[in-house]
Amino acid sequence: CLSLAPTTDEAEDEFATLRIFVGTWNMHGKDPPEDLSPWLGGGEDRYDLYVVGTQEACRSIEMSLLLPSKAKWEMKLRETLGDGYVCVATNTLAAIHLALFARRSLMDSIGCVRTAQVATGIANTLGNKGGVGISLTVGQTSLLLINSHLAAHQNAVDQRNSDYLRIDSQMSLRPPSVLIAGERDSVA
């Protein structure tokens, strides 16, 4: 859970709790299962935000370079989450996709939504590898969400590290005050 800074002149010790589901899935070009609710927390109304990153959703990297649309996948997410959630933003770079859904009642608190992407594939121009991002504010709290698809296999550690540094330096979404996962939080 993330504690949100007060949005008005509330006492400093009064914070709202924001429950966020974060999931990433390399789908290897396959369609999703009929029922996504077990993966998305049981289909219950437990989370305020759903951040869903995929790689190779519904089609291969090669097909995604030609047809990057993830409309079928986004529709499946909408159907699973239901009318209580709104798609705030999506971002696609070939086979890399990031979707952000918010509880409908939170929409008045959400602002400054921006997207960006950085390709790290062949010649640093193809989107077969790289990262996509979404930044936003919820109340007075800034969030930066990034999904990446990096070089595979044990022998590509140096390439992954290099690609991470490229994404980090070129992703033009960093809000004025940002907390990088790992600085103070732990990601399981």
Q: How many CB atoms lie within 10 A of CB 85?
A: 22
Indicate which CATH number applies to the domain containing 137: 3.60.10.10
Q: What is the pLDDT of residue 110?
A: 95
Residue 177 covered by a domain = no
Interval 121-147: pLDDT, tens: 877 766 689 999 999 999 989 999 999
Q: How many domains does the chain have?
A: 1
Domain of residue 153: give its range: 2-170
Report how far residue 47's alpha carbon sits from residue 184's, in angstroms, rounded to the nearest whole number.
Answer: 22
Residue 86 covered by a domain = yes
Residue 184 covered by a domain = no
Residue 188 covered by a domain = no
Q: What's the predicted TM-score (pTM) here? A: 0.81
